[in-house]
Structure 1
Amino acid sequence: MRFVPLAVAGLAALSLAACTAGKEGGPALGSQPKPAGTAPSALPATTIELWHGFSADSEVKAFTDAIAGFNKKYPQITVKLVKGVQDEQITQAVRGGRPPDVASSFTTDSVAAWCKSGVFQDLTPVIKQDGIDLSVMPAVVNDYTQYEGERCVMPLLTDAYGLYYNKALMKGHQPPKTLSELTKLAKELTVRDPDGTIKVAGFVPSAQYYENTPGHWSPMVGAKWTNPDGTSAIGSDPAWKKLLTWQKELIDWYGYANLEKFRKSLGDEFSANHPFYKNKVAMAIDGEWRVAMLANEAPKIDYGTAPMPVDDAKPDLYGGGFTAGTVIGVPKGAKHPEAAWALVKYLTTDTDALVTLANAIRNVPTTTAALESPQLKKDEHFQTFLDIFANPKTTTIPAHVNSTFNQEALQSFIASWEKGSAKDLDSGLAGVDKTINDKLKLSGG
């Protein structure tokens, strides 16, 4: 899946804590005895509706192909697909008593709020009832699909983030493994005009550059987001200070004005004018989906992929990275919850279904069997991200009722920090903590 900007992805997450889900619809999952027998034919004939966020023709076709496998197993269940649905639409449909039977989201930012408010039903009873072994998925995936012991969604596909590097621009250098190596290479590979104008950037350290979000960066230094009580750990964890000190020193080397001039001259992230395609950036952090985009939009680029560089003092982090992905579940009030759960279970645990989706959309599948399937399309570029995802050091942003707000609070401070408006890093990060914790109090966290 492509990256969804925070302002769009998590609209619902900021207002869900006090919302009440619709009361109309079918019975809650696990509230009634399981239909006699375990065969798919035990479920009655019905039509269910699945809302999802994909909109590109290839993505919609991938879902249709995956559903075809479900229809072979459950011929009596018809699945109606509704594309291009965002989190806010799902939330409003549930609150209005008109939910779909199944809904999928691009982002994990709403999971905690959805679980806490009951917008999505707790799947724990039916997971136990059907004997699903969640250990077939990495622990990090299980973490981002539940909140405070309530698992209200299942992981469908996921993203993994690593380093892309242009082999021609690298001038024979191997990809960096540490932040100090990244700094050295970024400086060596940068090309400027005599007036300081950047023609080629070895690496763009701005947090406003495409996928350079705090979340994607945090695994490089092992930074924590929250304390056990849900309060912010950003100001007290020295890893954030180390990360932002490194970032600011590299920005100052470029010159903030020079870097901004360069950044604003670049093409759109999701277009054929992406600067990596145009040989303007030697190294960049990006998701696994960029492999497919490069094949389609810039097939002549000779590039490599690698894990992200890490803190020099924490070399054991190398090989891991950041992950977060698509989630799917049964909304509160679904008219046909048992049939809906059958579809969710199939799409998230059936190897053929996951491989079909992963091959078409070029995202990482979330079960061990799918990752190891000989049918999964792999090459050296994509394999890097499969390895990152499976690495035990790979992390995600922990589920939080104010997940989007927390990320935006930190992002806002970083924008001031890299510009030079914020002078004191310690007090600035402490201010981020206060902003996040004040919001948590208001949310009843």
Structure 2
Amino acid sequence: MRFVPMAVAALAALALTACTAGKEAAPSLGAQPKPSGSAPAALPAATLELWHGFATDAEVKAFEQAIAGFNKKFPQITVKAKKGVQDDQITQAVRGGNPPDVAASFTTDNVAQWCKSGAFQDLTPVIKQDGIDLSVLPAASRLYTEFEGKRCTMPLLADAYGMYYNKALMKGNEPPKTLSELTKLAKELTVRDADGTIKVAGFIPSFQYYENSPSHLGPMVGAKWYNDDGTSAIGTDPAWKQLLQWQKDLVDWYGYDKLEKFRKSLGDEWGAEHPFFTGKVAMILDGEWRNAMIANDPKAKSLDYATAPLPVADDKPDLYGSGFTAGTVIGVPKGAKNPQHSWELVKYLTTDTDSLVTLSNALRNVPTTKAAMESPNLDKDDRFGTFLDIFSHPKTSTLPANVNSVFNQDAFSTFLIQWEKGAVKDLDAGLASVDKRINDKLKLSGG
């Protein structure tokens, strides 16, 4: 989507305010009147409009609790939150010249476009001005919140992906650490009828199964999405070929048609009949939030399960313990009426330890700063702790920001469906065709 470029003043004029008690105020984010005092508490009264994607009662309540902490620090600032907002609503509001003061998104797919177009304002100057040390954030979360040197969002909460396994179905086996161990165990734990119909799957290798997207599975082999120049690396990085060949071998062992029949018979990913809850799948790839869903589901509460990092390529044991991460991002849209107040809210929600712990405890997502992850007030057990460790692992990776992120993922996923069903005869040529689609789209986008 194309945005109207930000005015030069809105992009660059982060002027310092008058000094009081020998300290400078945080800079204004746009062409706005300068605040009357230097200390944050001296900001004039204002009302901020905050749009976010949280929609359930529990989510909204948790977010309101975090905002209440901000209100204690800034009683003169009123925050009016609008729930259940999607990215297209945010971008349309920016284009229409009537954006919220602050906006949060569940996905990182639009960060590149927002940063590049100026739809969200670059926070780099105010981060430097306020002395915020971004090293408190893992490298992966720093990566998915910026694009081409512009940090137009901050990470609010994160998701990390690992393995859940049914301890009863595992029959005393330890969780696999390598792909060969996963293959062996998946076969051992699979139960079939006499005609080969799958009754229980050890592990479902299909890319069409719930969270088995290429972005989530790619870190198991250290696969790379893009080259340094922004072009697709899918066809040239041998790690993707390694992953796909492993995956297809396991699909073929199950039998594609039998696996598809079983997959399509399974319950809704978000419902009480999830196949992991009902003992139809022994091991799954999933996010940390599944712990909360299990705890809150009456039918699943008694499930005896544990968590572990995802298995990795046999020739890359140093990757074990890492995984995929992404998460909620938050920033200040172009045209925000109260940019400095907005920055104070963004800064509080993304760097205040108590705020992040409050959100994490309520939503069971990973807090993004080291202080919050190490807080004694953070509710954590071994199951949730797995994902804290994955998130903070130095080799944990993310899907780098790209202006065509959604298109690129769809192009690859479309190919993968053809691959696993056996319609692709030449894997190298097929992956090269994915590169071409992605790179052609990049050229059309001016990349």
Question: Of 416, 420, 440, which aligns to 2:442?
Answer: 440
Query: What is the one-letter code of the residue matched to 1:437?
Result: N
CA distance in 2, matches of 1:65, 1:35: 33
CA contact (8 A) 2:6 2:118 kept: no
The equivalent residue for 1:213 is 213
Q: Is residue 113 of structure 1 aligned with residue 113 of structure 2?
A: yes
Paired residue for 2:24?
none
* Residue from 294, 298, 301 that aligns with 1:299: 301
Which whole-Å CA distance do the structure 2 matches of 1:72 and 1:138 have between them?
Answer: 29
| Aligned residue identity for 1:378 | K
Specify the SS of the correspondent of 2:165: strand
CA distance in 1, matches of 2:334, 2:441: 26
Deviating beyond 6 angstroms after TM superposition, the runs of 4 or more aligned structure 1 residues are: none
Tell me the secondary structure at the aligned position of residue 114 of structure 2.
helix
Matched letter for residue 307 of structure 1: P
Deviations 1:84-130 (A, max 9, x none): 00110000000000000000000111111110011100001111111
Corresponding residue for residue 227 of structure 2? 227
Cα distance, 1:211–1:35 mapped onto 2, change above 3 Å: farther
Superposed displacement of residue 404, structure 1: 1.1
Q: Relative to structure 2, which stretch is displaced further, 63-72 or 32-41? A: 32-41
Does structure 2 retain, via aligned residues, the 8 Å contact 1:30–1:125? Answer: no
Matches within 5 A, 1:309-320: 309-320=311-322
**Does structure 2 conserve the Cα–Cα contact (< 8 Å) formed by 1:155 and 1:366?**
yes
Q: Which of 312, 321, 324 is the equivalent residue of 1:322? A: 324
CA drift of 1:19 comes to: 2.2
Q: Secondary structure at the match of 1:395?
A: coil
For residue 72 of structure 2, what is the aligned residue in structure 1?
72
Pair 45,29 (structure 1): closer, same or farther in 2 beyond 3 Å: farther
Measure the CA separation in 2 of the matches of 1:359 and 1:170: 29
Q: Find the aligned partners of 1:27 and 1:212 in 2 and give their Cα distance.
A: 41
Cα distance in 2, alignment partners of residues 64 and 186 from structure 1:
43
Amino acid at match of 2:290: R
Measure how far apart 1:30 and its partner are.
5.1
Structure 1 position 203 matched with structure 2 position 192: no
**Residue equivalent to 2:51:** 51
Query: CA contact under 8 A between 2:11 and 2:118: conserved in structure 1?
Result: no
Contact 1:161 1:323 survives alignment (8 Å):
yes
Q: How does 1:18-417 map to 2 (within 5 A)?
A: 18-20=2-4, 31-34=14-17, 36-37=19-20, 38-297=38-297, 298-417=300-419
Classify the secondary structure of the residue corresponding to 1:384.
Answer: helix
In the TM superposition, residue 40 of structure 1 has moved relative to its aligned partner by 2.5
**Alpha-carbon distance between aligned partners in 2 of 1:87 and 1:266, rounded to the nearest angstrom:** 30
| Partner AA of 2:429 in structure 1 | S
Shift in Å, 1:41: 2.2
Q: Deviations over 1:170-223 (max 9, x none)?
A: 011000000000000000000001111110000000000000000000100000
Aligned length, in residue pairs: 428
Q: 1:29·1:337 contact (CA, 8 Å) conserved in 2? A: no
CA RMSD of aligned residues (A): 1.4
Q: Secondary structure at the match of 2:182?
A: helix
- For residue 322 of structure 2, what is the amino acid of its counterpart? G
Structure 1, unaligned stretches of length 5 or more? 1-14
Q: Is the 8 A contact 1:28 1:337 kept in 2?
A: no
What TM-score, normalized to structure 2?
0.94
Q: What's the offset of the Cα at 1:31?
A: 2.8
Residue 422 of structure 1: how far off its partner (Å) = 1.4
Q: CA shift at 1:268, angstroms?
A: 0.6
In structure 2, runs of 5+ residues without a counterpart are 21-37
Aligned equivalents of 1:36, 1:341: Cα separation in 2: 19
325-334 or 133-142, which deviates more: 133-142
CA contact (8 A) 1:40 1:73 kept: no
Separation of aligned partners in 1, 2:334 and 2:3: 12
- Residue 219 of structure 1 aligns to a residue whose secondary structure is helix
Percent identity between matched residues is 72
Counterpart amino acid of residue 275 in structure 2: P
SS at match of 1:283: strand
Give the Cα separation in 2 of the matches to 1:44 and 1:270. 44
User: Aligned letter for 1:300?
Assistant: S
Contact 1:157 1:363 survives alignment (8 Å)? yes
Tell me the distance in 2 between the aligned counterparts of 1:137 and 1:87: 24
Go from structure 1 to structure 2 and tell me whether the alpha carbon gap of 1:99 and 1:275 turns closer, same or farther (over 3 Å shift). same
**1:225-277 Cα shifts (integer Å, max 9, x gaps):** 00000000000000000100000000000000100000000111011110000
User: Residues 78 and 28 of structure 1: is their aligned pair in 2 closer, same or farther, counting only changes over 3 Å?
Assistant: farther
Q: Which has the higher contact order (CA 8 A, sep 6+)?
A: 1
Query: Which 10-residue stretch deviates more, 69-78 or 39-48?
Result: 39-48
1:319 and 1:28 mapped to 2: Cα distance?
A: 40
TM-score when normalising by structure 1:
0.94
- Give secondary structure in 1 for the equivalent of 2:55: coil
Q: Residue 61 of structure 1: SS of its match in structure 2?
A: helix
- The 1:42/1:36 distance shift into structure 2, 3 A limit, reads farther
